[in-house]
Amino acid sequence: MRIAITGSSGLIGTALVRSLRADGHEVVRLVRRPPRAADEVRWEPKRQWVDTEGLAGCAAVVHLAGAGIGDRRWTDAYKKELRDSRVLGTAAIAEAVASLDTPPRVLVSGSAIGIYGDTGERAVDESAPPGEGFLAGLCQEWEEAAGAAQDAGVRTVFARTGLVVAGEGGAWGRLFPLFRLGLGGRMGSGRQYWSFIALDDHIAALRHILTTEGLAGPVNLTAPEPVTNREVTAAMGRVLGRPTLLSVPAPALRLALGELSSDVLGSVRAVPRRLLDSGFTFAHPGIEEALRAALAARGGRR
């Protein structure tokens, strides 16, 4: 297939491009600068403009671009950046897809399990309603922005991603160095659920979505059994062979991270009901398996 991807230089995008090309698919990368290679197409998400000629012939579009949720404190300015990068960017892609004489068969648009808000110990699947808070509201707007593609009859899937376990990049790219130094520990009470997914499984799930005609709407990209932060901490200690006696009190996290701390201390126990029902099989369903796979992918370095 010919597949267009936004966010191709990020953690997930880089791995997806590599996986698709290894199997002979043609990948078109959307970039926010003048193209420098034959496989690049320009787009300007804040202007809501896409060079649609570059999308011609694409069977699928995977939209992953957006400012990093955990990259900075959630100031008013950065909240606007988070919203604009997702809502305006998604609207631009959806409208570009809808405008094509022959639209792609599927649009996979990034989203996040943050849409459920804090679920405590309650497990939620894709049928659960949106929760409350900034991130939940942002995710709702983010998904609604793809309306033009849905109205044009394009199968549209919202990939509601959990915490991606990878050796470098993302949340775990920050956790691994701390735990290697023996500075890792639980955060807050440690009872909050972290819905994780191994990077390999995330890429496999995206590819499964691309070719599974029955999947449309929200799909949780999380491992089958979410674990608590306390369980994550213990697993990190076992895998890395380091002590995990330290803890970061909730007030200290709130002081250091501001409103972003709600994402760290909050509990989202999301389960991938629609992936499982569609026949998807996880290679690394457990947290320890996911951690070991992440280490193996980066050469086993601890």
Pairing of strands 26-31, 227-228: unpaired
pLDDT above 80: residue 176: yes
Q: Of 46-50, 248-252, 289-293, which gets the smallest average pLDDT?
A: 248-252
Confidence band, pLDDT 50/70/90 cuts, at residue 85: very high
CA-based nearest residue to 225, from 169, 290, 172: 290
What would the mean pLDDT of 174-195 be, rounded to a whole number?
A: 91
State how far the Cα of 270 lies from the Cα of 222, in Å rounded to an integer.
Answer: 7
> Which stretches of 51-133 are assigned E, i.e. beta strand?
60-63, 106-112, 123-124
Q: What angle do CA 266, 116, 281 make, to 5 degrees?
A: 100
Arithmetic mean of pLDDT, 153-178: 92
The answer, yes or no, to whether residue 107 has pLDDT greater than 80, is: yes
3-state class of 94 per DSSP? Answer: helix
- Burial class of residue 301 in the structure, from the number of CB atoms within 10 Å of its CB (0-12 exposed, 13-18 middle, 19+ buried): exposed
Please report the pLDDT score of residue 299 as a whole number.
63
Say if residue 102 is exposed, middle or buried (CB neighbours under 10 Å; 0-12, 13-18, 19+): exposed
Answer yes or no: is pLDDT of 123 > 70.
yes
0.85 surpassed by pTM: yes
pLDDT at 301 over 60: no
pLDDT at position 73: 83
* Average pLDDT rounded to a whole number, residues 152-165: 97
Tokens (6 digits) for 27: 């990948």
How do 60-63 and 2-6 pair as beta strands?
Answer: parallel
292, 167 contact by CB (below 8 A): no
**What pLDDT was estimated at residue 68?**
86
State the Cα–Cα distance between residues 147 and 135, nearest whole angstrom.
20
Lowest mean pLDDT among 100-109, 116-125, 127-136, 259-268: 259-268
Return the pLDDT at 248. 83
Q: Which of 11-20, 171-180, 226-235 has the lowest mean pLDDT?
A: 171-180
